[in-house]
Amino acid sequence: MTLYFFERVTDDDFIGPIIIAAPDEAEAWRVLAARENQTVEALREAHWQVAQELPAIPARPTVVYPSHYRRVGVL
């Protein structure tokens, strides 16, 4: 399982992170679509995106940032 961190960022709002455990990204999108009661295509059009994929739990305590916030040395 991989943890997928989803978010939606627009000029008007921010939603996230929504964290979904799934065997692959396609399944994670399907789970998010079911949660939001929308199609995957509608979510993508509404600016939902995968902010981070975490394939393993870190070996030590750390802050897990979305990929676009990553800094050197994090995770």
Structural domain including 39 reads 2-69
Residue 31 lies in a domain: yes
Q: Give 58's pLDDT tier (boundaries 50, 70, 90).
A: confident
Considering its fold, how many domains does the chain have in total?
Answer: 1
Domain-embedded: residue 74: no
What are 21-57's pLDDT values in tens digits? 999 999 999 999 999 999 999 999 999 999 888 888 8
Torsion (CA) 41, 48, 67, 59 in degrees, nearest 10: -90
Q: In what order do the strands lie in the sheet with 48-54?
A: 14-22, 2-9, 48-54
